Structure 1
Amino acid sequence: MSVPPKIPRMDNTAAAVAAILFSVAALSLGDAIIKAISVDIPLWQLYVLRSLFVLPVLAAMVGLKAGTVRLIPRKALWTALRSLLLVAMWVAYYASLPHLQLSLAAAAYYTSPLFITLFSAGLAGERVGARRWFAIALGFAGVVVMLRPDAQGFDAWALLPVAAAVCYALAMILTRTRCRDEDPLILSMALNIAFILVGGIASLVLLQMDLSADRVAVNPFLFGGWTDLGGMSWAALAILGAAMLVGSVFAAIAYQTGAASTVSAFDYSYLAFSAIWGLLFFAEMPDLLTVTGMAMIATAGIIAARSRPAVQAA
């Protein structure tokens, strides 16, 4: 009996949009949970515990693909650098959450596509067209509007999500140029191993430093030592893990089901969901300048996403 030909998967725009909306709702909820528990669980403890839960799942998934997955990355040093950049990204972003409105932190972080476009031109040799240069300028203008550097309301903590966006963009450039042949499961395992190593080392360093209570009070989430977790904290970690899992799965479904340019445009609904969770959980209400800056960044990202990718320079 002959094998029937494989039918190509057709795009389903409605399903893709629904999937990405569900994804960003879950992921933004996860960020809201992290902001909420940041007063009880230090960042480094969160890193270690979360990755200790994730690694066995990843190991089981690798085991199911036994014989088809290369356990040692082909480019181990580049993979390690990529992992460290992503760890730095999460350190910068999460460290900002106790000090910023959730919507402001999310908007500043969502400049990452603009940095990817910028670094693609400078580091990956891609030519960037006029529309994408306009998008970069518009997005960075949106950041300036939000951060209002000449106003008394400027908050230096808002620079951390921008730094996170830079780290993420560099990691994605490495993924495309140096790690594109690595198995995604191995990249994920490398990242979680990096989380455990960095979290463990940072915890030991803080233990040896024996910081004063006043110093820890500047950012308990970043400088605090490990704590005993109660039932509510474990429940929050479980919900966080589920939100991260659901978000990543539905993001993959969205990009498999619909055109990337369409899906990435709706990805910016993350900013709206962040504002909603911020209002519901923390009674945060973005002011007019913050909303204006968010709109400028979202518009810039959509323009960059819908512009035709540049041809790689020779």
Structure 2
Amino acid sequence: MTTDTGHPLPTRYDPRQAAMLAVFGMSCLAFIDNFVPVIARDIGLWQFHAARSAMILAGLLPLAVLMGWRLRPRSWRAVAWRSFCIASAMMLYFGATATMPVSQVAAGLLSSPIFVVLISWGFYGAEIGKWRWLAVTLGFAGVLLVLRPSGDTLSVLNVVPLFAGLLYALGAVATRRYCADENEAVLVAGFFGTSGLFGVVGLLVLAGTVTDPAIDGFFGTGLQTWTSDALFWTFWQAVVSVIGIGSLFRAYLLAEASHVAVFEYAFIVAAAFWGYMLWGQVPDAFALLGMAFIIAAGVVIIKRSGAA
């Protein structure tokens, strides 16, 4: 996509509100994602995304008409590009979990703030001061302590999660620089529309094949008969996800991508909290130390908001 790198940044700027929205959004996603294993017992990734996106768009479009929200993008190319990047990142993330340890995949995806800083600095000349560099580095170190990716020999599969992190970072930067004049409804519709399209394509590719979630996994399973559990949790995934993702998208419209991206690490803290509350999972000492690093990174960003 051809873009104008000289496009001025918008006047709306509230880094503290952006931080709160990002933490809230990631906490919502962490809560509802705890129930993905329940869904994965009965259906596959593509069916899940196609159905969830259909549910969200079926509710969003009438609501947009009722509330008078604009759903026509001001820049089709910009919205299409950032939707493609973020939706592709999530597909790569979930796809890689079919053949790699989740810790490695998550560590790769959560490398996105590092890419955000590099993209903002290298391509747009953003002034990223030492405190923000320190916060990003500290946050990533915390992720490594929490997830502790293994030291297996590097292969193509090891690189897939890092590509997910790069794509997610590209989408995050595009949100701020090229979609700043878009409202949240446009961004949410674009993301879920693209995710739904990917889901439909995946189902078409797998059409005519006999698949079983227990054998083929979340990634390789085609269309399955709906169960009450899968339908129930897919519906609530749709409801809570649109709240969480809408909050995160709003955050990226209120502050620099390199600022907001650090607070996406709140997902780790929230996931640990909900894992304990829902399933009694207790983080070990390394995980707790990593969470402390993540929290410290967030505090540095808040204290230094407005500073280079």
The TM tier, using the shorter chain, reads 0.7 to 0.9
Q: Does 1:243 align with 2:268?
A: no
SS of the aligned residue for 2:88 comes to helix
Alpha-carbon distance in structure 1 between the residues aligned to 2:283 and 2:155: 14
1:36 matched residue in structure 2: 38
Provide Cα deviations, 1:168-222, integer angstroms capped at 9, x if missing partner.
Answer: 22101111222222233222222222122211112212336x4888xx8786111
- Unpaired segments of 5 or more residues in structure 2? 1-13, 254-258
Tell me the CA shift for residue 23 of structure 1: 4.9
Cα separation, 2, equivalents of 1:77 and 1:57:
25
Aligned length: 289
Letter of the structure 2 residue corresponding to residue 87 of structure 1: A
Distance 2:123 2:219 in 1: 32
- Secondary structure of the structure 1 residue equivalent to 2:180: coil
Instruction: Work out whether residues 188 and 242 of structure 2, in 8 Å CA contact, stay in contact via their aligned partners in 1.
Output: no
| Backbone CA RMSD of aligned residues | 4.4
Specify the alignment match of 1:303 in structure 2.
Answer: 300
Alignment of 1:1-314 (within 5 A): 23-64=25-66, 66=68, 69=70, 71=72, 73-95=73-95, 109-145=109-145, 146-150=147-151, 163-207=163-207, 210=209, 220-247=217-244, 268-279=265-276, 284-309=281-306
Q: Say whether the 8 Å CA contact 2:175–2:252 is kept in structure 1.
A: no
Could you list the per-position Cα deviations for residues 119-143 of structure 1 after superposition, in whole angstroms to 9, with x for gaps in the alignment?
A: 2112232011111222233334444
Greater alpha carbon shift after TM alignment, 121-130 vs 55-64:
55-64
**Structure 1 range deviating more: 286-295 or 46-55:** 286-295
Shift of 1:250: 6.8
Q: Kindly tell me: are residues 84 and 290 of structure 1, through their superposed partners in 2, closer, same or farther at Cα, counting changes over 3 Å?
A: same
- Following superposition, the deviation at residue 225 of structure 1 comes to 0.7
Separation of aligned partners in 1, 2:28 and 2:106: 14
**Aligned equivalents of 2:218, 2:210: Cα separation in 1:** 13
| Structure 1 SS opposite 2:207 | helix
Distance in 1 separating the partners of 2:166 and 2:303: 21
How far residue 86 of structure 1 moved from its aligned partner, in angstroms, is 1.2
TM-score, structure 1 as length reference: 0.71
Cα distance in 2 between the residues matched to 1:230 and 1:97: 23
Distance 1:242 1:183 in 2: 19
TM superposition shift of 1:50: 0.9
SS of the equivalent of 1:170 reads helix
Report the AA paired with residue 90 of structure 2.
W
Higher mean alpha-carbon deviation, 263-272 vs 295-304, is at 263-272
Question: Structure 1: which 5+ residue stretches go unaligned?
Answer: 1-10, 257-261
For residues 159 and 253 of structure 1, what CA distance do their matches in structure 2 show? 30
